[in-house]
Amino acid sequence: MDHHIPAALLNGNPAFFHETLDPPRLKNIPGQALEACGDDAWVSLFHMNRLAQEKSAYLKHAAHQKIDWYPWSEEPFQRAQREDKPVFLSTGAVWCHWCHVMAEECFENDDIAQLMNGLFVNIKLDRDERPDIDRRYQQAVSAMGAGGGWPLSVFLTPDKKPFFGGTYFPPEDRQGRPGFKNVLRAVSNFYKIKREDAENYALEIMETLKPEALQPGELSESSLDDAATGMLAQFDPANGGFGTAPKFPMPGAFEFLLHRFFMNTSSSIGLAVRKTLEAMARGGFHDQLGGGYHRYSVDAAWTIPHFEKMADDNAWLLRNYCDACAVFGDERFKEVAQGIIRFVRDVLSDPEGGFYASQDADVTPSDEGGYFTWTDEDLMRVLTDEEHRVLSLHFFHERGSMHHDPAKKVLFVVMEPGEIAEKLGMDVQTVATVITRGKEKLLKERNAREAPIVDKNLYTSLNGMLISSCLRACRTLNDPWLLKFSLKSLDRILRERLINGLLFHSEGVPAVLDDYVNLIDALVAAYEATGEKRYLDRADELMERCREKFEDKEQGGFFDTENEILGTRLKRVEDIPHPSANSVAAMLLLKLSLMTGKRSYLSAAEKTLRLFSGEAQAIGIHAGSYFCALDAYFHLLKLTVEASPASEIASAARAVAGPYTAIAYGADNGRVIPCVKDLCYEPIGNADGLRDFFEKQYRP
């Protein structure tokens, strides 16, 4: 591909083009609390553009800007055609730090707004609301040599084809990065003077969006061990996690390795999983006061996070920590899981049912992570002398210093209570009590601060993830709120997002594959938790519909959208980092084949796994959830519970940890029958017998 064509629009300097597309691995961003005002209040207080009436919190955040923004629709492209102008597309999210930085520096700059309105037709896109569109333009900008991330800044022809793009641009030239004013003028001039070059280059970029044909491969049980070995080769023994900074949680890989550990009790696998989960829990990546996790760590030691807190990350990490608690019997993992639930309950839960999408990173772009960080003066003001002395040793350290203000620190565990007790000559229990009391005071103080905005949209995919994770957590955590609220949330999503047989991602936005598979996962989890067949029937019904809309009947696998978006339908297997929709679909097909007896589901699962076998082996740890499904293909255990769902033995069946299980309910005969493929074990008549079976007998 000729990269010199687009480089020419920045005066022929290719360095500008490539540097622009390779930002600091994109951070993420704040948002003022404009949700406190309704649309009418904002319209009366400010000049508002057409984004004021949108449902997206991110789009509303730009409603006061003097830019003539359009939401994504056909209208702006029709206008661009009439006026013979290129289109500028900005995609981002309300939780994204650098999106807010660029908004403050560029989009709220009168000179830049005037340039944008004069030279382009401008579109603002919420990547959480339209992940299908964002994904394709991310891929396009990456093909230009830019990497990707948010904000994504893409220049399009009136027929939606990208011919130049980048991520964050400062308003003026800065540190080798071209200023947005210069970019706007250069792109506009290039489009006017070298229209044919722009259009030809756009066609080349569009070709890169077309997925390469995958060659189905064989399914081998030995590939599970190969995958685990490959993942362990990337393990960071000093800090936990895999690879180097920035570090993201990899829940699919964690789940796969946890189950591998159960199957063969490999000490190296056990060490990698425990070390990683413990290191993440000790780090500033974990919210030490409010519970839950931020999106990723900028350093290798999990100390400094990108501060946004996402529904999907916390949903999957909740599963990981509950599974780890059950497999390793470690109460510390249970405490972390309870903290995730606390965050989800206090911040991401709608009282009427349903889960919100995210909490922003900051209150203002100029104070990254300010809501979550502390100065020593803050601690001294809130804590007693004893509490200050103990908590300073516990989680206040120079390594937690923020780059923009070193006096502000991210809290992370530096010393455990036993170490502090020895250093200060105190009783360990006293130290633990002081830490608990001090953390409660600090959380109360933090709750009094102005909090980052919460995106209160109820996305079907994210709700499916959190509902299923919370229902599975009921097996480990004794929290009566979990089951009741999860089922209430599921009922609301079914009521408000499944309308006349059509599923929606959010209000008015058609569902994508992610929405279907994660909602089906929630329905399967609800059936397993309650034994109510209506949930299984609905899951079966939606899976049939999912296959009609998304399955590639010829090659296997599932497309991400029902119809082509920008001329393509994508089939992906990599985790991003939450588990890929194709991997979740394969796992659900396997489970539903056992629950419903439909052999067609097993065939579809096998076809999907075969299709992605080569790619999964190539990308290894980034296909962790694929290997979970492949493991289940060989080892999935069906537990037929012939007992009341409220009985002790049914509860014991749900609490089984280690193997992949599918629970099906039958007539009440007071027993559970375990089966793997065509092999069934003797029926087990009590909870102790079931636990004994898994501890002493069952090892496939």
Residue type (1 letter), 352 = E
- Please give the structure tokens belonging to residue 412: 């992370």
DSSP assignments along 150-190, one per residue: SSEEEEE-TTS-EEEEES---SS-BTTB--HHHHHHHHHHH
The helix/strand/coil state of 580 is coil
- The pLDDT assigned to 175 comes to 87
Instruction: Note the pLDDT tens digit of each residue in 372-383.
Output: 999 999 999 999
- The pLDDT assigned to 3 comes to 34
Instruction: Note the pLDDT tens digit of each residue in 518-542.
Output: 999 999 999 999 999 999 999 999 9
| Percent above pLDDT 90 for the chain | 87
Residue type (1 letter), 105 = E
Per-residue pLDDT band for 407 (boundaries 50, 70, 90) equals very high
- The pLDDT assigned to 145 comes to 87
CA distances from 692 to 638, 687, 695, 697 (A): 17, 9, 5, 7
Please say whether the beta carbons of 277 and 258 come within 8 A: no
Please say whether the beta carbons of 546 and 516 come within 8 A: yes
Distance of CA 429 to the CA centre of its chain: 37
* CB proximity list for 405: less than 8 A, separation 6 or greater: 367
Strand 305-306, strand 69-71: pairing:
unpaired
DSSP assignments along 512-562, one per residue: -HHHHHHHHHHHHHHHHHH--HHHHHHHHHHHHHHHHHHB-TTT-SB-SSS
pLDDT at 33 exceeding the cut of 50 = no
- Please give the structure tokens belonging to residue 26: 């994109």
Q: Largest alpha-carbon pair distance within the chain?
A: 80
pLDDT at 412 exceeding the cut of 70 = yes
- The pLDDT assigned to 697 comes to 73
Per-residue pLDDT band for 30 (boundaries 50, 70, 90) equals very low
Distance of CA 145 to the CA centre of its chain: 25
Instruction: Say how far apart CA 644 and CA 670 lie, in whole Å.
Output: 8
Distance of CA 249 to the CA centre of its chain: 10
pLDDT at 23 exceeding the cut of 50 = no
- The pLDDT assigned to 699 comes to 65
If you search the block for the tokens 């594959």, which residue do you land on? 513
- The pLDDT assigned to 147 comes to 74
- The pLDDT assigned to 212 comes to 86
Distance of CA 206 to the CA centre of its chain: 27
- The pLDDT assigned to 205 comes to 96
Judged by average pLDDT, the poorest of 45-59, 175-189, 286-300 is 45-59
Instruction: Say how far apart CA 400 and CA 394 lie, in whole Å.
Output: 12
Please say whether the beta carbons of 285 and 340 come within 8 A: no
Strand 152-156, strand 162-166: pairing:
antiparallel
Q: Which H, E and C letters describe 337-350, residue by residue?
A: HHHHHHHHHHHCEC
Torsion (CA) 48, 54, 56, 59 in degrees, nearest 10: -30
- Cis-peptide, bond into residue 151, ω within 30° of zero: yes
- The pLDDT assigned to 359 comes to 97
* pLDDT top residue among 46 and 61: 61
* φ, ψ at 220 (rounded to 5°): -125, 130
Residue type (1 letter), 232 = L
Handedness of CA 635, 332, 655, 588 (dihedral sign): negative
Opening angle at CA 604, ends 598 and 608, nearest 5: 155
- The pLDDT assigned to 571 comes to 96
Please say whether the beta carbons of 584 and 521 come within 8 A: yes
- The pLDDT assigned to 146 comes to 73
The H or E element that residue 484 is part of is helix 480-497
- The pLDDT assigned to 456 comes to 97
pTM above 0.85, yes or no: yes
CATH numbers and ranges of domains, the chain: 4-209 (3.40.30.10), 220-358+457-634 (1.50.10.10), 364-449 (no CATH), 636-700 (no CATH)
CA distances from 361 to 90, 100, 341 (A): 19, 10, 19
- Please give the structure tokens belonging to residue 618: 């190539």
pLDDT at 573 exceeding the cut of 50 = yes
- The pLDDT assigned to 445 comes to 98
Mean pLDDT of 334-362: 97
The H or E element that residue 91 is part of is strand 87-92
Q: Which of 324, 321, 441, 325 has the alpha carbon at shortest distance from 378?
A: 441
- Please give the structure tokens belonging to residue 121: 């037709």
Mean pLDDT of 37-42: 40
- Please give the structure tokens belonging to residue 58: 């991110």
Judged by average pLDDT, the poorest of 144-148, 323-327, 357-361, 592-596 is 144-148
Neighbour-count burial of 286, counting CB atoms closer than 10 A to its CB (0-12 exposed, 13-18 middle, 19+ buried):
buried
If you search the block for the tokens 């409010």, which residue do you land on? 290
Mean pLDDT of 188-201: 97
- The pLDDT assigned to 131 comes to 97
Mean pLDDT of 97-117: 97
- The pLDDT assigned to 700 comes to 59
* CB proximity list for 270: less than 8 A, separation 6 or greater: 261, 328
Instruction: Say how far apart CA 580 and CA 135 lie, in whole Å.
Output: 13
Instruction: Note the pLDDT tens digit of each residue in 6-19.
Output: 444 443 333 222 22
Mean pLDDT of 160-174: 96
DSSP assignments along 452-463, one per residue: PPEE----HHHH
Mean pLDDT of 204-219: 93
Mean pLDDT of 348-360: 98
The count of other CB atoms within 10 Å of the CB of residue 74 is 9
Instruction: Say how far apart CA 694 and CA 660 lie, in whole Å.
Output: 12
The H or E element that residue 276 is part of is helix 267-282
- The pLDDT assigned to 368 comes to 92
Instruction: Say how far apart CA 52 and CA 176 lie, in whole Å.
Output: 35
Q: Which of 487, 453, 288, 473 has the alpha carbon at shortest distance from 356?
A: 453
H helices of 50-130, where?
57-61, 75-83, 97-102, 110-119
If you search the block for the tokens 């084949």, which residue do you land on? 593
| Percent above pLDDT 70 for the chain | 93
Q: Where are the beta strands (DSSP E) in 458-545?
A: 498-499, 502-506, 509-510
- The pLDDT assigned to 45 comes to 47
